[in-house]
């Protein structure tokens, strides 16, 4: 059943300066598959029974159709790309022109994503390997028992966010400075963004 077009998405596409044709073509396929649309995070997002399935992402070099649980899809055509080195669930299809959007291929991925959502499948984020702790953090945790206990009691997502923040620094002294700045937040049980 094809869903009605959302006027907010119409306005978004009318304002788009890049990838307008590609996004309109992808939108038509998504609506034909029976997804509902709306704007989320300022971009056209497609849902099934209120659950996010896919979102359109215009980039400088390509337009993407990102599946929120793309890691659970079978990449039957070898087209899924990772969102980035730290993404564990999302995968996307990338397009550089309208001709590259083959309706039957896109539909096959969308139908898979809908089946994943209907089945209630989730990426097991606990089973994915946590990033290795930088040596500077390991030293700080060994030296400060309260910090070690607080860090261990953080949620896996918060621990991961801290490790990624610390390892994002190229120099050891910068990593040490970041750890020192974040110690009060870790002790408070919050993530690097204060939540």
112 and 167 both lie in a single domain: no
- State which residues form the domain around 164: 135-188
Q: Give the chain's domain count.
A: 2
pTM for this structure? 0.68
Q: For residues 158-177, give the mean pLDDT.
A: 90
pLDDT computed for residue 84 by the predictor: 73
Q: Which of 119, 153, 173 is at the close of a domain? A: 119
Question: Is 126's pLDDT higher than 80?
Answer: no
**Is a pLDDT exceeding 90 seen at residue 32?**
yes
> What are the pLDDT digits (tens) for 2-28?
677 999 999 999 999 999 999 999 999
pLDDT digits (tens, 9 = 90+) for 85-111: 667 788 999 999 999 999 999 999 999
What mean pLDDT is predicted for residues 146-158? 90
pLDDT in tens, 128-143: 566 788 999 999 999 9
Residue 1 lies in a domain: no
Our measurement of the distance from residue 109's CA atom to the centroid of its chain's CA atoms, rounded to an integer in Å, reads: 17
Q: 115 with 83: CB under 8 angstroms?
A: no
What CATH number did the domain enclosing 77 receive? 3.90.1150.200
69/114 same-domain check: yes
Q: What percent of the chain is modeled with pLDDT above 70?
A: 94
Residue 12: inside a domain: yes
Q: Indicate if 108 and 28 belong to the same structural domain.
A: yes
Per-residue pLDDT, 85: 66
Domain co-membership, 12 together with 66: yes
Instruction: Indicate if the pLDDT at residue 83 is higher than 90.
Output: no
Residue 129 lies in a domain: no
Co-location of 179 and 107 in the same domain? no
- The answer, yes or no, to whether residue 127 has pLDDT greater than 90, is no
Say if residue 109 is in the same domain as residue 146. no
For residue 48, the model assigns a pLDDT of: 96
Residues 112 and 161 in one domain: no
Residue 15 domain flag:
yes
Least confident of 53-67, 115-129, 162-176: 115-129
> Is residue 125 assigned to a domain?
no
- What percent of the chain lies above the pLDDT cut of 90? 72
User: Do residue 30 and residue 104 come from a single domain?
Assistant: yes
Assigned domain for 193 exists: no
Three-class secondary structure assignment of the chain: CCCCCCHHHHHHHHHCCCCHHHHHHHHHHHHHCCCEEEEECCEEEEEECCEEEEEEEECCCCEEEEECCHHHCCCCCCCCEECCCCCCCCEEEEECCHHHCCHHHHHHHHHHHHHHHHHCCCCCCCCCCCCCCCHHHHHHHHHCHHHHHHHHHCCHHHHHHHHHHHHCCCCHHHHHHHHHHHHHHHHHCCCCCCC
Domain boundary residue, one of 60, 88, 119: 119
């Amino acid at each position: 059943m094809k869903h009605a077009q959302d006027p907010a998405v119409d306005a978004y596409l009318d304002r788009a300066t890049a990838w307008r044709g590609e996004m309109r073509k992808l939108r038509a396929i998504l609506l034909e598959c029976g997804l509902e649309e709306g704007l989320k995070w300022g971009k056209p997002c497609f849902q099934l029974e209120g659950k996010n399935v896919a979102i359109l992402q215009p980039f400088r070099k390509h337009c993407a159709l990102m599946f929120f649980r793309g890691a659970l899809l079978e990449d039957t055509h070898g087209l899924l790309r990772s969102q980035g080195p730290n993404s564990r669930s999302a995968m996307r299809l990338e397009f550089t022109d309208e001709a590259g959007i083959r309706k039957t291929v896109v539909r096959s991925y969308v139908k898979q994503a809908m089946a994943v959502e209907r089945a209630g499948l989730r990426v097991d984020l606990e089973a994915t390997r946590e990033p290795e702790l930088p040596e500077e953090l390991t030293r700080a945790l060994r030296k400060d028992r309260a910090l070690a206990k607080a860090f261990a009691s953080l949620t896996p997502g918060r621990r991961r966010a801290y490790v990624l923040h610390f390892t994002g620094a190229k120099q050891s002294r910068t990593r040490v400075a970041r750890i020192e700045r974040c110690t009060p937040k870790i002790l408070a049980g919050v993530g690097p963004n204060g939540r």
